[in-house]
């Protein structure tokens, strides 16, 4: 039998659809909720806006990490493991739902949920968006309204019971994680496991970039973090060279050189990527910059230029043969 009652929160009603088991979980900062949810409009049709089961992946939020839709933490805190409950939430609690839903949909589509956002509070970001990119969410953003959330709570984990995602770490945890990830990446490189190593370097960079976002660019705090980012990006690019992801290397080295135009190692890796995709002029220019910036790398540059010349000559010969073959074939028609 359905049980309806008010939570001790203004503008919220709760209806238990299926009772859970045990006592209410004991929560602390960093505890993780894992649950499925369905979001419906409070209209006659109970129009479905989102359903996490369609994406096939349960939702996760961390207690105390300022999830944009703060009321969800309150709702989940009232549930037992295995419980299914329906919550009616008034407009005072649902104003941020359009932005939250936009991020979740982008993740499900394999896109970056933060793409295009400025480093501002959530409400500030709301006014930056002319459109969420989804017609139904644009309507919610224009006219906030009560919503219904149906939630099924699977588990609640203590902070020590799971590997915490980068975004859920404190500043101290992120700083402590960076050298560990760097070391793990180096170990994987020695084993020639380049894809796994790249993932470690990338995770370390994300930790540092998150911290940099809270610093003023080019001031001491920002520069200290940047000095840690640079070698990690270079290591990541070396892995991508080994994996043949040359355009990935071009993108990241170019971005790095826009900030640090005297980094010989970045020019060297970009030159190798240019050479691999037959950008001869750009490769030669970058190799020459390397030799100018770091004379100790002159021998390596000389070797690379020799190999580049041989590859380009071979390519020109092959191209001539191919064109001659095409020309002869066209004459025979």
Asked if residue 177 and residue 150 are part of one domain, the reply reads no
In a domain, 165, yes or no: no
Determine the Cα–Cα distance for residues 98 and 95; give it in Å rounded to an integer. Answer: 7
| Bridge partners for 89 per DSSP | 12, 147
Per-residue model confidence as pLDDT tens digits over 238-285:
999 999 999 999 999 999 999 999 999 999 999 999 999 989 999 999
Which range is least confidently modeled, 30-44, 121-135, 190-204? Answer: 121-135
> Which residues have C-beta within 8 Å of that of residue 303, sequence separation ≥ 6?
none
Residues 186 and 273 in one domain: yes
Length of the chain (residues) = 333
The CATH number of whichever domain residue 143 belongs to comes to 3.10.50.40
Q: What is the mean pLDDT of the chain?
A: 84
**290 near 271, Cβ under 8 Å?**
yes
User: Does 303 reside within a domain?
Assistant: yes
Query: Is the CB of residue 272 less than 8 Å from the CB of residue 297?
Result: no
- Banded model confidence at residue 129, pLDDT cuts 50, 70, 90: very low
How sure is the predictor about 163, in pLDDT bands with cuts at 50, 70 and 90?
low
Rounded Cα gap, residues 282 and 289, in angstroms: 11
- Could you tell me if residue 164 is inside a domain? no
Q: Which of 145, 164, 162, 146 is nearest to 154 (CA)?
A: 162
Q: What is the pTM of this model?
A: 0.53
Q: With 80 as the cut, is the pLDDT of residue 329 above it? A: no
Taking the alpha carbons of 64, 69, 71, 76 in that order, is the dihedral positive or negative?
negative
206 in the same domain as 147: no
DSSP strand E in 1-47: where? Answer: 3-6, 12-18, 32-41
Residue matched to tokens 């990338």: 202
pLDDT at 160: 61
> Once rounded to an integer, what is the mean pLDDT over residues 203-214?
88
Q: Specify whether the CB–CB gap between 140 and 91 falls below 8 A.
A: no
Short-list 282, 190, 204, CA closest to 242: 190
* Domains held by the chain: number: 2
Contact call for residues 178 and 204 (beta carbons, < 8 A): yes
Q: Tell me if 81 sits within 8 A of 19, measured CB to CB.
A: no
CATH number of 317's domain: 1.25.40.10
Structural domain including 94 reads 4-157
Count CB atoms within 10 A of the CB of residue 299: 10
For position 108, what pLDDT does the model report?
A: 72
Helix (H) or strand (E) holding 66, with range, is none
Of 157, 191, 207, the residue that ends a domain is 157
Q: Give the number of other Cβ atoms within 10 Å of residue 107's Cβ.
A: 13
Q: 329 in a domain, yes or no?
A: no
Would 87 be classed as within a structural domain? yes
Q: Which residue has the tokens 């992946």?
A: 57
């Amino acid at each position: 039998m359905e049980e309806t009652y008010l939570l001790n929160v203004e503008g919220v009603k709760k209806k238990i659809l299926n009772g859970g088991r045990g006592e209410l979980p004991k929560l602390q900062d960093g505890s993780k909720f894992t649950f499925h949810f369905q979001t419906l409009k409070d209209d006659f049709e109970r129009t479905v806006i989102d359903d996490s089961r369609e994406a096939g992946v349960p939702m996760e939020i961390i207690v105390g990490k300022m999830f944009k839709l703060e009321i969800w933490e309150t709702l989940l805190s009232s549930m037992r493991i295995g419980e299914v409950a329906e919550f009616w939430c008034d407009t005072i609690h649902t104003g941020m739902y359009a932005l939250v839903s936009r991020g979740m949909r982008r993740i499900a589509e394999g896109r970056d949920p933060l793409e295009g956002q400025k480093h501002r509070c959530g409400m500030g970001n709301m006014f930056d968006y002319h459109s969420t990119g989804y017609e139904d969410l644009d309507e919610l953003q224009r006219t906030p309204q009560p919503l219904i959330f149906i939630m099924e709570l699977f588990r609640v984990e203590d902070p020590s019971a799971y590997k915490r995602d980068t975004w859920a770490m404190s500043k101290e945890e992120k700083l402590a994680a960076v050298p560990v990830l760097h070391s793990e990446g180096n170990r994987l490189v020695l084993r020639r496991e380049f894809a796994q190593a790249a993932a470690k370097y990338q995770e370390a960079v994300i930790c540092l970039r998150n911290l940099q976002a809270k610093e003023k660019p080019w001031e001491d705090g920002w520069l200290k973090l940047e000095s840690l980012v640079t070698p990690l990006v270079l290591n990541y690019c070396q892995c991508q060279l080994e994996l043949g992801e040359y355009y990935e290397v071009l993108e990241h080295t170019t971005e790095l050189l826009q900030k640090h135009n005297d980094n010989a190692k970045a020019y060297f890796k970009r030159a190798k990527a240019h050479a691999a995709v037959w950008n001869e002029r750009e490769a030669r220019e970058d190799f020459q910059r390397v030799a100018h910036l770091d004379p100790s790398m002159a021998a390596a540059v000389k070797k690379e230029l020799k190999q580049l010349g041989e590859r380009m000559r071979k390519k020109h010969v092959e191209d001539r043969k191919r064109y001659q073959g095409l020309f002869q074939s066209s004459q025979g028609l």
